[in-house]
Amino acid sequence: MWTCLGNLIGRRAPEPLSTGSRWILVPLGNPGGEYVDTRHNLGRLMIQRWMSSRRCQPERVRALETGALYDMGPSLLALVPSTYMNHSGKACAEAVAAGLDPARMILLHDDKDLPLGLGRFRLKGGTAGHNGLASIFECLGTQDLARLRLGIGPLRRPLHEFVLGTWTEEEWGRIDALDAPFSRFMELLGEAKSLGGIPGTVNAASFWGEAAPPGNP
């Protein structure tokens, strides 16, 4: 925790950032064109597809040394790290040091233990072996961060090659089916005053509809 936060003392932004009542989406992934279509970048991919469907371009609010903050509308911000996945916590720590509230953050990340087509919303929890989450938890000193887990399974070993592998044609079909439930999630989040009621809605199998693989709850 102190390694990330302590290094930021003395270089805060001149004007502190304010979260207000908006939620801060943190889509995890690796930077660079070679990673755009990899499984590890599913959180970023779904945000990009959602924006494209709305024909909108987010406005950059603040450039950070390790990422950037974007205005996504009246209820939502997006904090996009510019580092590789296993250093995702640096951008989160920098944003918190600049004034953002970590209690308003929602992490969007791939999950090897869920099948592609399913998502789960949690208010806190462990890393389940995800290096991006591990970096954020270490830098912020807490695991009490909300997150939307987006399945990329079934997992095929070795893990490193699997998460950095590109989508197959059949997987692209499942991603197309994810657009509708992900859009519902974004609408739900944009209208939410608190996160307490979201898990019950989002974690229902019916929420994911046609995106859910047959035979999965």
Contact 70, 81 (CB under 8 A): no
Highest mean pLDDT among 33-47, 56-70, 200-214 belongs to 33-47
b/e map 17-38, b = 16+ CB within 10 Å: bebeebbbbbbbbbbeeebeeb
Q: For residues 113-139, give the mean pLDDT.
A: 96
Between vectors from CA 37 to CA 93 and to CA 211, what angle results, nearest 5°? 95
117 belongs to a structural domain: yes
Contact 93, 139 (CB under 8 A): yes
Least confident segment among 6-10, 22-26, 167-171: 6-10
The closest of 20, 56, 50, 36 to 185, measured between CA atoms, is 50
13 belongs to a structural domain: no
96 belongs to a structural domain: yes
Q: For residues 18-34, give the mean pLDDT.
A: 92
* Structure tokens given for 171: 């997987």
* Structure tokens given for 48: 């990009």
Contact 205, 216 (CB under 8 A): yes
* Structure tokens given for 184: 């519902």
Tell me 1's DSSP state. -
* Total structural domains within the chain: 1
Hunting for tokens 């290096």 — which residue is that? 131
85 belongs to a structural domain: yes
pLDDT at residue 179, as a whole number: 96
* Structure tokens given for 44: 């970023």
pLDDT at residue 59, as a whole number: 85
Q: Which domain holds residue 60?
A: 2-8+19-211
Is 109 tagged catalytic? Answer: no
143 belongs to a structural domain: yes
* Structure tokens given for 78: 């997006």
State the virtual CA torsion across 190, 119, 36, 94 in degrees, nearest 10.
Answer: 60
Q: Which is catalytic among the residues 40, 87, 130, 160?
A: 40
CA dist., res. 170 & res. 31, Å (int)? 25
pTM for this entry: 0.90
90 belongs to a structural domain: yes
115 by DSSP, 3-state: which? strand
14 belongs to a structural domain: no
pLDDT at residue 216, as a whole number: 59
Q: Which stretches of 14-159 are assigned E, i.e. beta strand?
A: 23-27, 59-64, 67-71, 76-81, 105-115, 119-122, 146-153
Residue 33: which CATH number?
3.40.50.1470
